[in-house]
């Protein structure tokens, strides 16, 4: 059992980045800043020394500036490569953590979530976090520092121009930030609508067979149209808002350039600054604005990453199973008896079972009868360690023990659920999933009674879809039965095992249940008649 994952937040995710590669990224970022910001100083030095007529100096100056631009570009590329490696390693570890956490969540908590929730966590939220961290490393930090360094160059050239340019650039930056905050609510609404649409599409897929039978078609179509309209409306509002503020920002950028140009021309005429210095200032301002233009989108990605980090952190805080207590599995003796006494369990305050007592021993077949909701399946889930009761005692092999002991024994238990899990893959994949010795188990099917239960077609080639799509109810039931029966189990629980099965399968199962009882505790949960003649004990719930 995996240890409980440590709860984390945005800072925690940053700390988890690989240190060596992060340092290398920052180093390339510094080189990028240095060689992307030093050229104005060299040009300013050239203007001050008045080398206008020195062709050789101008040639070497041009080569030097081109070289600096080239080195800066190479540094930017190398930083991107390093950041890609950082994000790859980080995303791999994050994906592993999310997967492990998902599989350590308490059974009931997991089943209270929609499959879309876990899909979003694995694919969408993890990607948003990745993009936000990449934007922080590559754009927000480096571009902000680069803008500040270039602005200081203007201070070196001319103080009054620095004041005017700083005011204009601060206005531009402030407007960019303000526009980001104004667009943000539309973006959040779009993400929420996208998620609702995702849920709806999943529901529509599940409705397929009903819709094919002409049931609820108009209602489903109307609901689909309504959800799609909401989704598209939020997208439209977001696009319009982005377009409006993009236009406003562009107007502001152009106005700042014009004001700086007009002010500079005036100051040239009155002698505050010479014309060549003004041209250099205008060039630097243009470069600064180009770098600033990339920052808002990076800030949005960063904010997206912050929200994703909160969502993932909340996911990591979902209740998880504690580590199974007791001895290592190999040191625990085979289970000969299990008893639960005065066990009670409630779902959200509603009692499912109350003071149930059950004693089970190897070599017997137990038949459980009872109305729907009487607590049969809940009791079975408690015996499997999937649910932990609020009250009651557990004894294994006559010794009182903690409920977590059942979690350590799960791999020794077999459970044929009413809705046995099927997944996308071949029939063979589904039959052998989780078996400790799949090759031997598959070879052992030859001549075994279970081989006659395999559905038609080559099991190595016949593929099935999500949740067993493409299989009949009986075929899915047979595959699930084969999967459980191939294992050597101390406890076998068969929940409605006869559902969807034909007479041949039913007779074979009854016969093999009797053959297996000497080596296992067998519980059969059924509303149907047919097991009374082989049951050693019958319990009514």
Give SS3 for 463. Answer: strand
Taking alpha carbons only, the member of 198, 51, 68, 80 closest to residue 142 is 80
Give SS3 for 521. Answer: strand
| Total of domains in the chain | 3
5, 77 in Cβ contact below 8 A? no
Q: Is residue 392 part of a domain?
A: no
Q: Are residues 116 and 170 in the same domain?
A: no
Rounded distance, CA 368 to CA 515, Å? 19
362, 520 in Cβ contact below 8 A? yes
Q: Is residue 343 part of a domain?
A: no
97-106 core/surface letters (b: 16 or more CB in 10 A; e: else): bbeebbebbb
Give SS3 for 7. Answer: coil
Question: What are the mean pLDDT values of the chain's consecutive 10-residue runs (541 residues total)?
Answer: 44 78 89 86 74 70 85 90 89 90 90 89 90 86 87 88 90 88 90 87 83 84 90 93 92 90 90 86 87 80 88 91 54 85 89 91 92 89 92 92 88 87 91 90 86 87 87 88 90 87 82 89 86 89 87
Query: Can you give the pLDDT at residue 6?
Result: 44
- Return the structure tokens found at 407: 């979690």
DSSP string, 31-59: HHHHHHHSHHHHHHHHHHHT-TT-HHHHH
Q: Is residue 21 part of a domain?
A: yes
Rounded distance, CA 95 to CA 118, Å? 12
Query: Which range of residues forms the domain containing residue 421?
Result: 329-336+363-372+406-540
β-pairing, 399-401 vs 463-464, is unpaired
Q: Is residue 287 part of a domain?
A: no
Overall residue count recorded for the chain in this entry: 541
Rounded distance, CA 195 to CA 216, Å? 23
Q: Are residues 90 and 238 in the same domain?
A: no
Q: Are residues 422 and 476 in the same domain?
A: yes
Give SS3 for 237. Answer: helix
- Rounded to whole angstroms, the maximal C-alpha distance in the chain is 112
H/E element, 346: strand 337-347
Phi, psi of 320 (to 5 degrees): -120, 160
338, 508 in Cβ contact below 8 A? no
Q: Are residues 65 and 187 in the same domain?
A: no
Q: Are residues 150 and 163 in the same domain?
A: no
CATH number, domain of 470, equals 3.40.50.300
Rounded distance, CA 89 to CA 87, Å? 6
Q: Are residues 368 and 511 in the same domain?
A: yes
Angle between the N-to-C axes of helices 19-37 and 39-49, in degrees from 0 to 180, rounded to the nearest 10? 20
Q: Helix/strand/coil (H, E, C) string of 383-440?
A: HCCCCCCCEEEEEECCEEECCHHHHHCHHHEEEECCCCCCCCEEHHHHHHCCCCCHHH
Neighbours of 18 (CB within 10 A): 14
Q: Are residues 76 and 180 in the same domain?
A: no
Q: Are residues 462 and 529 in the same domain?
A: yes
Cα four-point dihedral sign 27, 33, 39, 44: negative
Taking alpha carbons only, the member of 400, 413, 415 closest to residue 335 is 413
Q: Are residues 264 and 201 in the same domain?
A: yes
The predicted model scores a pTM of 0.79
Q: Is residue 167 part of a domain?
A: yes
Query: Can you give the pLDDT at residue 359?
Result: 95
β-sheet bridge partners, residue 346 = 351
Alpha helices in 425-494 (DSSP H): 427-432, 438-444, 473-485
Q: Are residues 182 and 260 in the same domain?
A: yes
Q: Are residues 68 and 114 in the same domain?
A: yes
Q: Is residue 387 part of a domain?
A: no
β-sheet bridge partners, residue 525 = 368, 495
Query: Can you give the pLDDT at residue 52?
Result: 57
What residues contact residue 249 under an 8 Å CB cut-off, 6+ apart? 172, 175, 176, 179, 296
Residue tagged 């520092």 (tokens): 145
415, 484 in Cβ contact below 8 A? yes
What residues contact residue 53 under an 8 Å CB cut-off, 6+ apart? none
Q: Which of 257, 289, 321 is the last residue of a domain?
A: 321
Q: Is residue 207 part of a domain?
A: yes
- Return the structure tokens found at 439: 């090759």
């Amino acid at each position: 059992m995996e240890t409980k994952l440590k709860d984390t937040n945005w800072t925690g995710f940053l700390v988890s980045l690989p240190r060596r590669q992060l340092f290398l990224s920052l180093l390339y970022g510094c080189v990028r800043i240095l060689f992307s910001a030093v050229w104005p100083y060299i040009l300013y030095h050239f203007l001050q020394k008045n080398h206008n007529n020195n062709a050789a100096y101008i040639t070497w100056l041009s080569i030097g500036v081109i070289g600096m631009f080239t080195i800066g570009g190479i540094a930017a590329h190398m930083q991107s490569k390093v950041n890609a490696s950082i994000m790859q390693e980080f995303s791999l570890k994050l994906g592993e953590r999310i997967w492990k956490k998902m599989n350590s969540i308490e059974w009931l908590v997991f089943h209270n979530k929609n499959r879309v929730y876990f899909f979003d966590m694995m694919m969408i939220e993890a990607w948003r976090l990745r993009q936000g961290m990449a934007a922080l490393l590559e754009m927000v930090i480096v571009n902000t520092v680069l803008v500040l360094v270039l602005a200081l160059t203007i201070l070196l050239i001319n103080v009054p121009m620095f004041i005017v340019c700083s005011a204009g650039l601060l206005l531009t930056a402030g407007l960019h930030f303000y526009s980001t905050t104004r667009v943000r609510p539309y973006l959040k609404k779009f993400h929420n609508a996208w998620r609702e649409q995702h849920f709806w599409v999943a529901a529509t897929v599940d409705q397929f067979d009903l819709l094919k039978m002409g049931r609820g078609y108009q209602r489903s179509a109307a609901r689909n149209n309504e959800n799609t309209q909401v989704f598209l409306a939020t997208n439209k509002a977001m696009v319009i808002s982005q377009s409006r503020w993009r236009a406003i920002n562009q107007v502001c950028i152009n106005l700042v350039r014009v004001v700086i140009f007009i002010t500079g021309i005036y100051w040239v005429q009155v002698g505050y600054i010479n014309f060549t210095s003004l041209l250099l200032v205008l060039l630097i301002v243009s470069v600064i604005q180009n770098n600033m233009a990339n920052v808002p989108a990076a800030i949005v990605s960063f904010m997206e990453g912050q929200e994703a980090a909160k969502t993932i952190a909340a996911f990591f805080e979902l209740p998880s199973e504690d580590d199974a207590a007791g001895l290592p599995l190999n040191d625990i003796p085979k289970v000969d008896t299990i008893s639960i006494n005065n066990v009670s369990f409630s779902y959200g305050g509603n009692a499912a079972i109350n003071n149930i007592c059950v004693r089970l021993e190897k070599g017997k077949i137990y038949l459980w009868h009872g109305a729907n909701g009487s607590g049969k399946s809940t009791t079975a889930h408690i015996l499997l360690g999937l649910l932990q009761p609020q009250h009651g005692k557990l004894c294994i092999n006559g010794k009182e023990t903690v409920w977590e002991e059942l979690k350590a024994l799960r791999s020794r238990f077999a459970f044929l659920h009413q809705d046995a899990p099927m997944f996308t893959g071949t029939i063979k994949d589904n039959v052998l999933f989780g078996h400790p010795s799949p090759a031997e188990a598959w070879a052992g099917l030859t001549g075994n009674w279970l081989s006659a239960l395999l559905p038609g077609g080559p099991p190595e080639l016949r593929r099935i879809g999500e949740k067993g799509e493409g299989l009949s109810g009986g075929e899915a039931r047979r595959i699930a039965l084969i999967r459980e029966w191939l294992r050597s189990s101390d406890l076998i629980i068969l929940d409605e095992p006869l559902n969807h099965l034909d007479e041949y399968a039913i007779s074979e199962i009854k016969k093999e249940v009797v053959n297996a009882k000497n080596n296992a505790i067998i519980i059969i949960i059924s509303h149907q008649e047919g097991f009374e003649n082989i049951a050693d004990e019958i319990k009514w719930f």
